[in-house]
Amino acid sequence: MSNPLLELENVTIKFGGLTAVSELTTTVGEGELVGLIGPNGAGKTTAFNMITGVYQPTSGNIRFGGRNTRGIKPSRLAGMGIARTFQNIRLFGSLSVLDNIRVAARLHNKQGYLGALWRGKGWKASEAETERLAIELLEIFDLAGQRDEEAKSLPYGDQRRLEIVRALATRPKLLLLDEPAAGMNPSEKDDLMRLIRFIKERYNLAVLLVEHDMKVVMGICERIAVLEYGRKIAEGTPKEIQCHPKVIEAYLGAAAVV
Ligand SMILES: Nc1ncnc2c1ncn2[C@@H]1O[C@H](COP(=O)(O)OP(=O)(O)OP(=O)(O)O)[C@@H](O)[C@H]1O
């Protein structure tokens, strides 16, 4: 396996009497595509919220690039290379498609307010790079024709893709995708699978994917971890997971076995 980029070690989080994630240990290697699956309420989104610094684990450690992330704010973690999309689309609806991407791409612009006022060489170079990346992403995701439209006016599938573009514009090392195929039709799902594979190679990304659509998960993940009631009940290749008795019982159902 490649070097570990993200490491979770005995991570637990409790909300009052409820243990939402319990003793979760797993890794995502550099450039690896890992799935995190399980029934509703299993703790997948909560795991994302801990990885992105929204929640602090009650116990256990999360390391990103070898550094313990405890106490680091979500905005800093984004700057360090962790980006995510959300289960429910959270775009800036009244901004144009291009501006949604520009806002994210400026995360690394170190010029600050004074730089923006002065508009010197450094600011211009940084803006040019922001614009180059934004346009490249729009073209890859087939959204260039809608660049000036309000984000909220896009069809649902396009809004979902724009969310991924916006996350990518922050130039992450790790991309967390929370149910990206939700609400997509079969052909949009096929396109999405191709896109995820493509961007992973193009930008040398590690991806952690939460998804209920098993065709998508089994089709693109290199490794899959399965949660049930906050506990990891299995981890392995798609083939191993499809035949795992506990996973079939808890989640997939016998019909899913290939
Ligand atoms: N802030 C919170 N306060 C209290 N309970 C919470 C909180 N966040 C999550 N939970 C609970 O933790 C458990 C895990 O929820 P989570 O949203 O992580 O599940 P999930 O696997 O992402 O489910 P789904 O597939 O439906 O999105 C659930 O019982 C949920 O109600």
Q: pLDDT by residue (tens digit) across 95-107?
A: 999 999 988 887 7
pLDDT at position 258, please? 44
Which of 74-83, 129-138, 238-247 is least confident? 129-138
Question: Is residue 201 a contact partner of residue 208, using CB atoms and an 8 Å limit?
Answer: no
Q: Has residue 257 got a pLDDT over 90?
A: no
Backbone angles phi, psi at 124, to 5 degrees: -65, -40
Can you tell me the distance from the alpha carbon of 47 to that of 69, in angstroms, rounded to the nearest whole number? 13
- How close are the terminal C-alpha atoms of the chain, in Å? 26
Q: If you average pLDDT over residues 40-44, what whole number do you get?
A: 95
Pairing of strands 33-37, 18-29: unpaired
Q: Which residues line ligand 1 (CB under 6 A)?
A: 15, 18, 20, 38, 40-46, 87
Nearest alpha carbon, ligand 1 atom 5: 15
Can you tell me the distance from the alpha carbon of 103 to that of 95, in angstroms, rounded to the nearest whole number? 10
Q: Has residue 256 got a pLDDT over 80?
A: no
Ligand 1 centroid from CA 228, angstroms:
12
Amino acid at 131: E
pLDDT at position 125, please? 74
Ligand 1 centroid from CA 131, angstroms:
37
Backbone torsion region of residue 179, taken as left when φ is above 0, otherwise alpha when ψ lies between -120 and 50, otherwise beta: left
Q: Which two tokens stand for residue 131?
A: 């614009």
Q: Which two tokens stand for residue 170?
A: 């922050």
Interface confidence, given as ipTM, is 0.96
Can you tell me the distance from the alpha carbon of 31 to that of 24, in angstroms, rounded to the nearest whole number? 21
Q: Which atom of ligand 1 is nearest to the CA of 16?
A: 4
Q: Which atom of ligand 1 is nearest to the CA of 212?
A: 25
Q: If you average pLDDT over residues 215-222, what whole number do you get?
A: 96
Q: What predicted TM-score, i.e. pTM, was given to this entire model?
A: 0.89
Q: Kindly report the number of other CB atoms within 10 A of residue 236's CB atom.
A: 15
Ligand 1 centroid from CA 72, angstroms:
22
Across-strand partners of 96? 150
Can you tell me the distance from the alpha carbon of 3 to that of 28, in angstroms, rounded to the nearest whole number? 9
Q: Which two tokens stand for residue 101?
A: 């991407």
Nearest alpha carbon, ligand 1 atom 2: 15
| pLDDT level of residue 181 (50, 70, 90 thresholds) | very high
Write out the DSSP string of 201-237.
HHTT-EEEEE-S-HHHHHHH-SEEEEEETTEEEEEE-
Q: Which atom of ligand 1 is nearest to the CA of 38?
A: 21
